[in-house]
Amino acid sequence: MIEDAIAGRGLRSERVLAAMREVPREAFIPASMADRAYDDSPLPIGEEQTISQPYIVALMIESLALRGGEKVLEIGTGSGYAAAVLSRIAGGVYTVERIERLAERSAAVLAGMGYANVHVLHADGTLGWPEHAPYEGIIVTAGGPAVPESLKGQLAVGGRLVMPVGIDRRLQQLVRVTRISPNEFRTEDVADVRFVPLIGAEGWAGAR
């Protein structure tokens, strides 16, 4: 999977490739789907949510351009897989999940596998986790109509935020936002993507 679906499609960060090799994806999906763990496709994890396609996980993390040891905020813990991959590069990962059952399940899996530098919070992810801000990297694993101002405010100067954005709940543009100064941000388009909706006070309204 790593050589064909990730490196073979142009991703080159050795940190990201090594982290992807280290984390067993099968540990984060239902046992009934273990034979599909290394397919390059999203898979259902319950609660109408999915574990992202491995290539997209790698693309988003590579887009953060982490050098190692940073503090990273993840919005949308889901299965915990992306947080586990991030934890192999970042110094600390703070991940927020709005669905309580998923937050509890992912926290248990991550703790059980020894990912001690990952911290899980059940809350509205669109508001971030301000107690631990600022973050050198922020990754949002659900698509919203715009980048939440709360998240931009928690991004360190020089830090990068990667998020799917679009007016369609199911079709977005993956963007990278770099904080140039306290009041200046630069936005770049990365790829066309499809993510579940980002629900919350600064995302889409309504039930999942």
Q: Which residues are catalytic?
A: 52
- Please give the DSSP secondary-structure letter assigned to residue 35: G
Neighbouring residues of 21: CB distance < 8 A, sequence distance ≥ 6: 2
Residue among 54, 87, 88, 63 at smallest CA distance from 73: 87
Compute CA 194 distance to the chain's CA centroid, rounded to the nearest angstrom: 14
Look at the chain and count its residues: 208
Cα 22 to its chain centre, rounded Å, is 17
48-76: b or e for each residue (b if 16 or more CB lie within 10 Å)?
ebbbbbbbbbbbbbbbbbbeeebbbbbbb
Find out whether 88 and 110 touch, Cβ atoms under 8 Å: no
Q: Which residues pair with 175 in a beta bridge?
A: 163, 189
Q: Which residues contact 204 (CB under 8 A, 6 or more apart)?
A: 144, 145, 169, 197, 198
